[in-house]
Amino acid sequence: MKVTIIGANGQLGKDLIKVFNKNGLNPLTHQEIEITDFLQSRNVIEKYMPEVIINTAAFHNVPECEKNPEKAFLVNSIGVKNLANICRNNDIILVHISTDYVFDGKKNSPYIEEDIPNPLNVYGISKLAGEFFAKKVEKHYIIRVASLFGISGCRAKGGGNFVKTMLNFAKTKEVIQVTSNIICSPTYTFDAALKIKEILEEKLPYGIYHVTNSGSCSWYEFALEIFNQIGANIKVEKRIEDEEIAGVKRPLYSALTSNKIRPLRHWKEALKAYLEEEKIF
């Protein structure tokens, strides 16, 4: 299977590279492909003529999306439209990575693929628009992920993620405050990458899939588990957030689950595997 990964130097992109066979794999970074430029993207993709494109590229700094909606829609929507047109014209399968932020958090139980999106902010709206463009390709998979943590960290967060931040606090703080009323689905990027590969290899029906580790928790509970697993002696206090944080509305409950695929391992098991990969143990 000839696979092109767009956003290959990102947190998920790097783990996708790990799990796919190197033969026929073509990883592309932002320096090599600019998805907002249709002609440049078409030239790059048609040079390799993959069977599958996995698009992890996104502008996902939520506050910056609110300040710069034009860029958010250019990358998260128009960029996907460009890829969709190229895939449709060349009979390429499009795997597009989306987000839990397409939901408003009002359900208060894990969202399944059939739930109706209702994003609250520019980031979520632009990602949902991208999903609509991805659906224009007959052979498409829309993979919604959430609360990612991976060994390489998130480029938009300077190579960090929540777990890395907590590990750093364990070395530098005695007391921290962590949000206790925002519920998420912590997801190990290596597990997500394996599941995306499985979906492709098993040739599951095209459509939307939620790919997250099993279970859900608050960020406070996530922090407690991190410190428990590494044996850190740090006091964690609860902090309550409003739906609007620093002028940006966010869903207070955005846990995902799937009724279409076998569940991934529990997030606590995934966290242990991640910490082993980080060589914490």
Contact present, 103 and 83 (Cβ < 8 Å): no
- Cα 280 from Cα 155, distance rounded (Å): 22
> Is 220 an annotated catalytic residue?
no
Which long-range contacts link 163-167 to residues 24+ away (Cβ below 8 Å)? 163/226, 163/271, 163/274, 163/275, 166/223, 166/226, 166/227, 167/226, 167/230, 167/278, 167/280
Strands (E), 100-206: 140-145, 148-149, 175-179, 183-184, 187-188
Q: Which of 101, 111, 123, 141 is catalytic?
A: 123
Burial grade of 244 (CB within 10 A; 0-12, 13-18, 19 or more): exposed
Q: Which residues are catalytic?
A: 123
